[in-house]
Amino acid sequence: MLIFSLVYLGGLLTIFSPCVLPVLPFIFTRSDQSFRRNGLPILLGMAATFTLLASFAAAGGAWLVEINQYGRYAALLLLLLLGVSLIVPALSERMMRPFVTLGGRLQQQADKQSSLKGSLLLGVAVGFLWAPCAGPILGLVLAGAALNGANLYSALLLLVFASGAATSLGLALLAGGKILKVMKQGLGAEQWIRRGLGVAVVIGVLVIALGWDTRFLSQFTFLSTTSTEQKLISKLTTKPKASDVTETTTMPALTGATRWLNSPPLSREMLRGKVVLVDFWTYSCINCLRTIPYLKAWNEKYRDKGLVIIGVHSPEFAFEKDQNNVEQAIHDLGITYPVAMDNQFALWNAFKNDSWPAHYLIDGQGRIRHQHFGEGAYQETEQMIQILLKEANHGEQVKSDTFVQVEGSGATAAATEMERSPETYIGYARQQNFASPEAIKQNVEIQYTSPGVLNPDQWALNGKWLVSEEKASLKAAGGAISFRFQGRDLHLVLGTGNHKPVRFKVTLDGVAPGADHGTDIDAQGNGVIHEQRLYQLIRQSSKITIHTFRIQFLDAEAEAFAFTFG
């Protein structure tokens, strides 16, 4: 019962997902009419479409991506015609003629807008657009369905999830109807309301068709429910202990990835006979970056002997869901092995993973034989690669007395053994050691000040900032962040709110860093934010001691996510 309750709550949360926002105008187009004959059929059509798509995903795997994409194209066309018909009712009949063969007409005239058939068809269209927004909880449900096969339990989970989403949309529909009723009574503007909804529908179609719903709205991380969903996921999953990994632990199916990069979609069956290393990572994670030189070296050394490395990119921050950002990171890091984008955490949940980075080694029979969480133990992992390759090649010689020699550079260089400051998040969801005298006001622009002295591991804001769940966004040029840190390296995950370059200047104990500058600034401390990623700002070359770091942004719209140290 607890699992069903949490899955239902996960469905409810989808109403707050950023990519659902452009879909809401389609729901409100009929919110001023009978809920029984219009609102309820829309919700039933949406829920049925989602359940059908999700069931196909659990049973059929990667090929659903193409089917769902065609469905989205059809839905976008249908809703575009709906929006135009709302704006220009006189053209409605001509525009709706092609849909006679589909069994229903949408918005031909005012009296047909309440038809059961048209409402169901609208619900189907909304379902195609809503399904990809379901998020990590759906990923967990689908992963369980894929692992356990098609059964009544999986079907019930999908139905409960769809019911939660339909409930939230139904409440929005009822609320929207009351709002529209008041507006019409007060202003007598029914025709203008109708046209306004038509404009909203057309704009929503354009936003979705151009991909702005995920690329632009994902920047507003205070709208994201990812962290809440992940807390629910932690209650639904149990991470396997190292002692649980036996030769009978089977590799989960590789279904549910958002997209595959550097490779066509791979499946468990395609990899039979190969030794597979699955690496869970995300491109702004410093611990992940420091393991990549080893992964690249293993790929180069053992690829021709039967090793397949798969990088599963499961995002920590909203901007890491953007395909262009991930592709740029893969290019910059020189990664050539396959990478699966796991934006909905389907693979993360299937492996019951909870760490970045995490390595799983699978033998030629598809059994998980070794796993390691975090950095380090590279020789141990490589030894296991050699053992599994010998098994898979039936005794063929694989040298087991030599190991790769790796020396990373920049952010990929190995960390020091010295004590260093902890990873520190700027967003209020995981914030710690904040020292500005002003209390954090969530999602509100206020002026912050920095105290005269910071204790070790404390940090502070200065200037006009808006602190959201994942980040702090600078709203006026000249703002700064200070940190009293210890460690050889200081990294900061940065981005820009308007996708324009943001200049900044770094000081160390009040002066230019000189020889202690990182790879992303010069000796005078000057740097520019061009993209959303991890920036190396300090690498001490002389005596490593505790310092006060300060970064001042010369332009507004800087975004700061997290500090890490090496």
Residue 266 has pLDDT above 80, yes or no: yes
For residue 188, the model assigns a pLDDT of 47
- Dihedral, CA of residue 360, residue 421, residue 225 and residue 282, to nearest 10: -40
Could you tell me the sign of the dihedral formed by the alpha carbons of 147, 149, 152, 155, in that order? positive
Give the separation between CA 505 and CA 512, rounded to whole angstroms: 9
Q: How far is residue 356 CA from its own chain's centroid?
A: 14
- Summarised one tens digit per residue, pLDDT across range 388-407 is 999 988 666 677 768 999 88
- Burial (CB count <10 Å: 0-12, 13-18, 19+), residue 83: buried
Give the separation between CA 78 and CA 360, rounded to whole angstroms: 44
Q: How many CB atoms lie within 10 A of CB 201?
A: 26
Do residue 404 and residue 456 come from a single domain? no
Give the separation between CA 145 and CA 158, rounded to whole angstroms: 9
Do residue 109 and residue 195 come from a single domain? yes
For residue 124, the model assigns a pLDDT of 67
Residue 320 has pLDDT above 70, yes or no: yes
Q: Do 198 and 106 contact (CB within 8 A), yes or no? A: no
Say which residue, 43 or 280, is predicted with more confidence: 280
Q: How many CB atoms lie within 10 A of CB 412?
A: 20
Is 419 part of any domain?
A: no
Do residue 396 and residue 494 come from a single domain? no
For residue 269, the model assigns a pLDDT of 92
Do residue 28 and residue 155 come from a single domain? yes
pLDDT band with cut points at 50, 70 and 90 for residue 483: very high
For residue 107, the model assigns a pLDDT of 37
Do residue 377 and residue 484 come from a single domain? no
pLDDT band with cut points at 50, 70 and 90 for residue 100: very low
Say which residue, 64 or 547, is predicted with more confidence: 547
For residue 462, the model assigns a pLDDT of 98
Mean local confidence (pLDDT), 228-238: 45
Domain boundary among 203, 228, 253: 228
- Summarised one tens digit per residue, pLDDT across range 8-45 is 776 776 655 544 555 555 556 555 566 666 666 766 77
Residue 331 has pLDDT above 90, yes or no: yes
pLDDT band with cut points at 50, 70 and 90 for residue 329: very high
Give the separation between CA 566 and CA 418, rounded to whole angstroms: 9
Q: Do 389 and 275 contact (CB within 8 A), yes or no? A: yes
Tokens 């989808």 -> residue? 14
Name the DSSP class of 511.
B
Total tally of structural domains belonging to the chain: 3
pLDDT band with cut points at 50, 70 and 90 for residue 101: very low
For residue 537, the model assigns a pLDDT of 97
Which of the residue ranges 265-269, 348-352, 409-413, 419-423 would you say has the lowest mean pLDDT?
409-413
Do residue 470 and residue 351 come from a single domain? no
Q: Do 177 and 282 contact (CB within 8 A), yes or no? A: no
Non-local (6+) Cβ contacts of 175 within 8 A are none
User: In 267-338, which ranges are E strands?
Assistant: 275-281, 307-313
- Averaged pLDDT of the chain: 77
Give the separation between CA 154 and CA 444, rounded to whole angstroms: 42
* Bond from prior residue into 252 cis (ω within 30 degrees of 0): no
For residue 174, the model assigns a pLDDT of 67
For residue 131, the model assigns a pLDDT of 54
For residue 203, the model assigns a pLDDT of 73
pLDDT band with cut points at 50, 70 and 90 for residue 81: low
Residue 136 has pLDDT above 60, yes or no: no
User: In degrees rounded to 5, what are phi and psi of residue 215?
Assistant: -80, -40
Do residue 488 and residue 408 come from a single domain? no
DSSP helix/strand/coil, 447: strand
Q: Read off the CATH number of the domain in which 357 is found.
A: 3.40.30.10
Full domain range(s) for residue 371: 238-412
Tokens standing for residue 477: 């040029």
Do residue 199 and residue 135 come from a single domain? yes
Model confidence, pTM = 0.61
Do residue 149 and residue 168 come from a single domain? yes
DSSP helix/strand/coil, 387: helix
Q: How far is CA 437 from CA 69, 227, 455, 475, 553, in A?
A: 50, 27, 14, 19, 21
Mean local confidence (pLDDT), 330-335: 96
Q: Do 438 and 431 contact (CB within 8 A), yes or no? A: no
Q: How many helices (H) and strands (E) does the chain have?
A: 15, 17
Q: Read off the CATH number of the domain in which 506 is found.
A: 2.60.120.260
Tokens standing for residue 379: 């020789």
Mean local confidence (pLDDT), 353-369: 94
* 339-341 sheet: strands from edge to edge: 259-261, 339-341, 307-313, 275-281, 358-362, 368-373
